[in-house]
Amino acid sequence: MYFCKLIRNVQMESNVDTVIQFSGLKSGIYHYDFTLNDSFFSDYNYEKILGGEVFFDVKLEKKERLMLFHFTFSGKVKTPCDRCLDEIDWPVEGDEHLCVKLSDKETSDDENVVILPENAFKIDLAQWMFEFVAVSMPIRCIHPDDAEGNTTCNPDMLKYISEEAGSDNDDKSDNDNDDEEIDPRWEALAKLKK
């Protein structure tokens, strides 16, 4: 789940402070609340999320050399409709976990385990919160249908799409009518099919 490292390769500043300073915290359970907003999402160059407001409840279970994070989130993000390209407010929610270990020697291949150096004293949760929101979204987001089952997509765009699809089909049918010589191997296969 490291795709956001590709998206956010430069540390940017938003008005959402997602840093938790864990040095000095005693073993126990701590709660944090974060609200990710348009400013937070604009720091990422990800065309699927244009903005939004997502509320995170983060529970930190601090142990001597280990921190267990439990993220619960819900809210809405702005995303382009995959059919008409108009903006949609898309609901998102989820529960995720992250384990953070302090070690100068250990490494981990597990995407839900993070290794920090022994001298680390804080962690920025922005990367993981963004990833959790991004992967909670479906591959395809389109406007929902209304009560009668009709699409609520932009009618002008739908009209344009249907006109373009029609012109593509006309071009294909013109090409299909050309008398092209058929490869004899395909012709033999067509006879077998009958």
Q: 119-161 pLDDT, tens per residue?
A: 999 999 999 999 999 999 999 999 999 999 898 999 999 888 8
Stretch (H or E) spanning 70: strand 66-80
Q: Are residues 105 and 172 in the same domain?
A: no
Q: Which residue has the tokens 């191997």?
A: 185
Q: Are residues 125 and 181 in the same domain?
A: no
145 within a domain of the structure (yes/no): no
Rg (CA), the chain: 25
Handedness of CA 10, 11, 15, 17 (dihedral sign): positive
Q: Are residues 132 and 165 in the same domain?
A: no
The two beta strands, 87-102 and 113-116, are: parallel
Tokens representing 12 are 């940017």
Buried (b) or exposed (e) across 69-103, using 16+ Cβ within 10 A? Answer: bebebebebbbbbebbeeebebebeeebebebebe
Q: Are residues 75 and 129 in the same domain?
A: yes
Specify the pTM. 0.75
- How far from chain centre, in Å, is Cα 134? 2
N-term to C-term CA, the chain = 50
Q: Are residues 101 and 128 in the same domain?
A: yes
Q: Are residues 38 and 79 in the same domain?
A: yes
Of how many residues is the chain composed? Answer: 194
Residue type, 163: E
Q: Are residues 37 and 114 in the same domain?
A: yes
144 within a domain of the structure (yes/no): no
142 within a domain of the structure (yes/no): no
35 within a domain of the structure (yes/no): yes
Q: Looking at the predicted structure, is the pLDDT value of residue 181 above 90?
A: no
Q: In total, how many domains does the chain have?
A: 2
- How far from chain centre, in Å, is Cα 34? 18
Q: Are residues 160 and 122 in the same domain?
A: no
181 within a domain of the structure (yes/no): yes
Q: Which has more pLDDT, 7 or 115?
A: 115
What are the tens digits of pLDDT across the range 37-90? Answer: 999 999 998 999 999 999 999 999 999 889 999 999 999 999 999 999 999 999
Q: Are residues 88 and 128 in the same domain?
A: yes
147 within a domain of the structure (yes/no): no
Q: Which residue has the tokens 């040095």?
A: 23
Tokens representing 94 are 């989820």
Q: How far, in Å, CA of 51 to CA of 66, rounded?
A: 33
Q: Quote the domain boundaries for residue 71.
A: 3-136
123 within a domain of the structure (yes/no): yes
Q: Are residues 62 and 128 in the same domain?
A: yes
Q: How far, in Å, CA of 34 to CA of 17, rounded?
A: 8
31 within a domain of the structure (yes/no): yes
Q: Are residues 91 and 36 in the same domain?
A: yes
Q: Are residues 67 and 159 in the same domain?
A: no
